[in-house]
Amino acid sequence: MKFSVTSEAAQWFIKELDLKPGGAVKIFTKIYGGIPTVYPSFFLGIAPGNKDDESTAKTVVDDITFYIESGNEWIVDNHDLTVEYNGQDVDYRFSD
């Protein structure tokens, strides 16, 4: 399935995480309250990352590498994931 990040969301990450060109953002799963209607026992975390991670779910937007942490790519096995900016924060949109 597909993993993508909009340019607006990339700009939000650049500002919030003080990222420099060539930087990276890691998206990872954690057991918690859940992603409503998709994975009820998990939520997504974010952190500055390593663009050389061996993830198979990776995209580059505005010179920033976004990736789903290696071993967590299963979250896009059956759904597309688009990270979008909502005017204040980012939303994680899953679709079939």
Residue 5 has pLDDT above 90, yes or no: yes
What b/e string do you get for 4-42 counting C-beta neighbours within 10 Å, with b at 16 or more?
ebbeebbebbbeebebeeebbbbbbbeeeeebeeebeeb
Q: Looking at the 3D structure of the chain, how many domains does it have? A: 1
Kindly state the tokens that stand for 76: 């896009």
**Is this structure's pTM higher than 0.95?**
no
Domain extent, residue 37, equals 1-93
CATH code, domain with 30: 2.60.300
What's the pLDDT tens digit per position in 27-50? 998 877 656 657 777 788 899 998
Residue 61 has pLDDT above 70, yes or no: yes
